[in-house]
Structure 1
Amino acid sequence: MVDSSFDYHAALSACAQGDPAALQRLYAQEAPRMLALANIMLGDQTAAQNAVHDAFVLVWKNAGSYDSRTGSARAWIYSIMRYRTLSMLRRSLAPASSAPVTPSVLPAYEDGAAGVAAALQQQPDGSRKPVLMAFYNGMNYSDIAARLGCSVAELRNRVRSCLRALRECEPA
């Protein structure tokens, strides 16, 4: 469970100042969830561990570049991990699979993401699956359309419809 009192912004600021204890606290707070997400994306525990390790190295090195105007500190940390994981997938460092990984049951989310996850779960499979393929596998419209056997235009409409429904569930 996420500690709602944890101050991600302060932890990143302390990391930017070279405080290794801040990185340890941040790691203890988020590594288990990041590992679970990386494992879903990569389908390999060792590759997932490497992705999370690399992400925290990048967080340490780049903490000073975090800008709170662009989003939450926690989202910034996860974006680093996600891009690192997608990079590993693209370079084929992770084991390749014939079918993209799209979980049938989404991981349990906390904070404001719970409503979005629930809304995504309610979307028709034809709309939900392409969104998950893009997020978890980093696939583009052409690749997803080819896998699903539909046109790119039809796929774009499905994704737009799903994202519109997700936007409606966001808190005001």
Structure 2
Amino acid sequence: MTSTEHLGDALVKVANQRDKAAFAQLFEYFAPKIKRFGIKQFNNEASAMELVQDTMTSVWRKAHLYHPSKGAATTWVYTVMRNASFDALRKIRSNREDTLSEDIWPMIHADDDDAVFSDHLESKLLKQYLDMLPAAQQEVVKGVYLQEMSQEQLAKQLGVPVGTVKSRLRLALSKLRIHMGADHD
């Protein structure tokens, strides 16, 4: 199924009848192309696969917006893909801004906790506050700020999604702020 007319027919079937077989044909045709585009765009297979998922989910949900008289199915799907790609790029840019704290946290190099805190004016106090956090949050704070790992590296090391690392870090920093008070921001 490679002709534009067949793709258009499949898209109309998805729109009008929620035809899963037609959607499978669209997926089979477009997924490899979207993935290749995503790898070129993001230089990352996981992000490329996320682009495939986002694009094809939108195709399923928005198929009713496709009108064969206005253009080819390929043009419509690639427009959906382009919009999903822009959304992903905005999300990446936004996440970089969210991780700005990595850039302003004090640089510390050491292997054990006592050495890590030896330079810090309130080392024992800071260590106490860190010890109050749940183990998973301690692990993330130490990995990001004390071992200078990126959130992506830490997620890979821990075997959890990046979003989990970000959530744990956000919660941990919030708890530390509460425990330490406004004087220590």
CA shift for structure 1 position 42: 1.3
Unaligned runs of 5+ in 1: 97-172
CA shift for structure 1 position 68: 2.3
The RMSD of aligned alpha carbons is 2.3
Which residues in structure 2 correspond to 1:19-168 (within 5 Å)? 19-92=19-92
Residues 73/90 of structure 1: CA separation in 2 closer, same or farther (3 Å cut): same
Give the structure-2-normalised TM-score.
Answer: 0.47
CA shift for structure 1 position 48: 0.7
Give the structure-1-normalised TM-score.
Answer: 0.50
Seq. identity, %: 27
Unaligned runs of 5+ in 2: 97-185
Residues 71/86 of structure 1: CA separation in 2 closer, same or farther (3 Å cut): same
Runs of at least 4 residues off by over 3 Å: 93-96
Look up the equivalent residue of 1:15 and give its one-letter code. Answer: V
Matched, 1:14 2:9: no
- Partners of 1:66 and 1:76 within 8 A in 2: yes
Which structure has greater helix proportion?
2
Look up the equivalent residue of 1:76 and give its one-letter code. Answer: W
Once the two structures are superposed, what CA deviation does each residue of 1:26-51 show, in whole Å capped at 9, x if it has no partner? 11112111110111111111011011
Once the two structures are superposed, what CA deviation does each residue of 1:107-130 show, in whole Å capped at 9, x if it has no partner? xxxxxxxxxxxxxxxxxxxxxxxx
| Secondary structure of residue in 1 paired with 2:9 | helix
Once the two structures are superposed, what CA deviation does each residue of 1:62-114 show, in whole Å capped at 9, x if it has no partner? 11111223321111001111110111011217997xxxxxxxxxxxxxxxxxx
Residues 36/58 of structure 1: CA separation in 2 closer, same or farther (3 Å cut): same
